[in-house]
Each structure stands twice: as structure tokens, then as C-alpha cells.
Amino acid sequence: MVPSPFALLLVLGAAATALAEPLRFVDCGSIDGSIQEVNVSPCPTQPCLLHKGTSYSINVTFASKIESQGSKARVYGEMLHVDIPFPIPEPDGCKSGIQCPIQKGHSYSYLNKLPVKSEYPSIKLIVKWELVDDQDQMLFCWKIPVQITS
């Protein structure tokens, strides 16, 4: 018996959900918002193993404590307490799942991609992800340990 396309979608959906378990993260200075959940997919265990040449889905659920016309993401690789900028395809939070303007007391799901380039070295580091409001204050900031691997 050949499984139906619908059954395959259910299985794949369940597998994707299983890979997107909420992560343990460190809040590194969320002032104007509060993080409810951070998901990196696929990342079934921590530290996340990030394979070179792969792009990872980021989903952060947070509540805003302020109003803001816009938001901008900044991502860093932290090594020996030094932040090295890590480029992402779309830094504009309003183009990343957040309906702008941001309203006080509302919850939002921020969605983005973390591409791991093949030229990155194979190392352990901390990913630090910030989202700032239009006053350059932190809507959220979180850190997770990762290991870049081939």
C-alpha cells in the first residue's frame, strides 16, 4: 500500500514539530519586551549543531512592553566575550513575521533564517540575537550555545 500525500505531510509535519522543541536560552537584556519562547529548527539537542551550508529557522515568541514603528535584528557570534557580527538575510523585523507598528502588550512571533556559510570555521560559540525597537532599545536579546560543524 502506497501512503497518500496527505499522510506523508502529516508525518513530515510531526517530524518538523519534533525538531522545533523550545530551547533553553539566556536572556541577555530584553528591556522593551519579554521572551516567551525561542525555537531553532532543526535543533533537537543543545548545544545546537549547525551544519555548514545549511539554513536554520528561527522563531521567537515575545510580548512587547512598548510601542514602536519598527524593529531591526542584530546577530552575533560571541567568542571569548567578543561579538562578531553575523549577517542574516532580513534584518527588518517588520518583514520577519512582526506586524508593525508594534503595540504595547501584544505578543508577536518573529521568524527569520540563520544561514551557516560553508566557509565558516568549525568551532563552538554563542549565538546572540537581538531585536531592537526604533529607539535602539532591546525588544529581546537571547543567547544559545552552538557548534558549527561540517
The pLDDT-based confidence of 18 (bands split at 50, 70, 90) is very low
pLDDT in tens, 19-36: 456 789 999 999 999 999
Kindly state whether residue 6 falls inside one of the protein's structural domains.
no
Contact between 57 and 113 under an 8 Å Cβ cutoff? The reply is yes
Query: Is 11 among the domain residues?
Result: no
The secondary structure of 71-85 as a DSSP string is EEEEEEEEETTEEEE
Range of the domain at 74: 26-148
Q: Convert the pLDDT of each residue in 54-95 to its tens digit.
A: 999 999 999 999 999 999 999 999 988 899 998 898 999 999
Please tell me the pTM assigned to this model. Answer: 0.83
Q: What are phi and psi of 28, to 5 degrees?
A: -110, 35
Instruction: Answer yes or no: is 127 within a domain.
Output: yes
The pLDDT value recorded for residue 20 is 56
Nearest to 140 by CA among 38, 23, 21, 20: 38
In CATH, what number is assigned to the domain containing residue 65?
2.60.40.770
Residue, of 127 and 1, whose pLDDT is higher? 127
**Structural domains of the chain, count:** 1
